[in-house]
Structure 1
């Protein structure tokens, strides 16, 4: 038996965070929980605090002010505690350069963010289903 999947969404868009919160709220709390951060610096400060409970997987937007998603991903991979966290880039950018850059920085996956709520819900459901079935040793109770 495993505990609920813990997901952290890092996205500067309040509207996108709200949509994600709505989509995740439609799932059973026993399956998945979502926390959000509005910026890379906020997420890094939270994840490097002494008593933090780390998420199981991170959904990370690319286009953010202050610190874009690539810089956040680089900071994760350089950190001895955070470097093994699966990070899924979650962006509207279909640019080949962005996709290649994300994988070069060791992103676990690249998911194109749908602009239609129904399709967005399907993406979230598939994301949760995949990561709930993934073998993440630290998720065992």
Structure 2
């Protein structure tokens, strides 16, 4: 039996964290979702040996350590470099999209403003990464 799929959501908006938790409860109740409110908190968690998410969902615009800075740090760390990072941002600025891909983000999604749209986005993300793990791990 494969381990439950584990996601880390890094977003300073408590409302967006709650929306994501509600979406995960609806779309993937067997998934594990860990939410943190800052890049620094995420980095500390990611560097702890017992914590290994399958995918990181990352907001870009956060106070303190931005999503770009967290992504840069993750891609420098040998233990973290392989973890897929999906950008979930309200920014559709081409400069942000380009920088995210330059820093090796796996994908970039502009957050839908409606809950139904957000659910649809998350459903596609969950399906993609779970199918990817099945293919990669023969499960």
| TM-score when normalising by structure 1 | 0.91
Q: Distance in 1 between matches of 2:95 and 2:134?
A: 29
Structure 1: tracts of 5 or more residues without a match: none
Q: Distance in 2 between matches of 1:132 and 1:110?
A: 17
Q: What RMSD in Å do the two structures reach over aligned CA positions?
A: 1.8
**Aligned 8 A contact 1:113 1:120 in 2:** yes
Which structure carries more relative contact order (alpha carbon 8 Å, separation 6+)? Answer: 1
More helix by share: 2
Shift of 1:3: 2.5
Residue aligning to 2:59: 61
| TM-score when normalising by structure 2 | 0.92
Q: Distance in 2 between matches of 1:66 and 1:48?
A: 18
**Aligned 8 A contact 1:89 1:111 in 2:** yes
Q: Distance in 2 between matches of 1:12 and 1:47?
A: 17
Q: How does 1:102-117 map to 2 (within 5 A)?
A: 102-117=100-115
2:131 paired with 1:133? yes
Corresponding residue pairs, total = 139
Q: Distance in 1 between matches of 2:134 and 2:79?
A: 15
